[in-house]
Amino acid sequence: MTDGAAVAGPDGALRCPWALSTEDYVSYHDEEWGRPVHGDDALFERISLEAFQSGLSWITILRRRPGFRAAFAGFRIEKVAAFTDDDRARLLADVGIIRNRAKIDATLANARVLADWSEGELDELIWSHAPDPAGRPAPRILADIPAVTPQSTALSKALKKRGLRFVGPTTAYALMQACGLVNDHLEACVSRISPPAR
């Protein structure tokens, strides 16, 4: 049992303990989580997947991500915005994704909202809420990591004001963590000490 501190994996490297809870998490932790994500379509995918994750474990979403990408046309905003009632019915019957009516409807509605934005506008809005990293000490244990912050609350309000759905403060913070607006890798984690070259 861990106290929430970094744990040594099979390769001897220390990682955030959640990264070693299942094999699927290791590459996600090492290569994606906390790495900067830019681009409207890429951020739309993350917003959508974080919304689908609400109330579920992230591993459930991660294992179905290929199915989500296939079902939602690679999360290309323009394509999803053009989905019809037939597409909605297809999504509600697709066993490769989470068939939650409210979350599917929110994803389609969000795409329609975002299709009217200028290119780069979503990227700019989200990244404008990144806190100053100098004011954020590295977490030593999992208990040091918040679920909500003033910045995630502000981001949630900004997204909702612009018409997006399923973007509460907790979901917004998970988005900030996943997309690299904040670095919540533990202080001793290999991904904080020596992140992979880009």
Cβ atoms of 51 and 106 within 8 Å: the answer is yes
- Say what angle helices 169-178 and 150-161 make with each other, to 10 degrees: 110
- Please state the residue numbers annotated as binding site: 16, 29, 185, 189
Looking at 25, 33, 45, 50, which residue is catalytic? 50
Looking at 18, 28, 117, 127, which residue is catalytic? 28
Exposed e or buried b per residue across 88-112, where buried means at least 16 C-beta atoms within 10 angstroms of its C-beta: eeebeebeebbebeebbebbbebbe
| End-to-end CA separation in angstroms for the chain | 34
Cβ atoms of 156 and 77 within 8 Å: the answer is no
Strand runs labelled E in the chain:
7-8, 14-15
Active site residue 25: no
Looking at 58, 117, 127, 187, which residue is catalytic? 58
- Please state the residue numbers annotated as binding site for Zn(2+): 16, 29, 185, 189
Active site residue 58: yes
- In angstroms, the Cα distances linking 64 to 33, 99, 153, 176 are 17, 12, 28, 21
The residue whose two tokens read 């988005």 is 175
Active site amino acids: 28, 50, 58
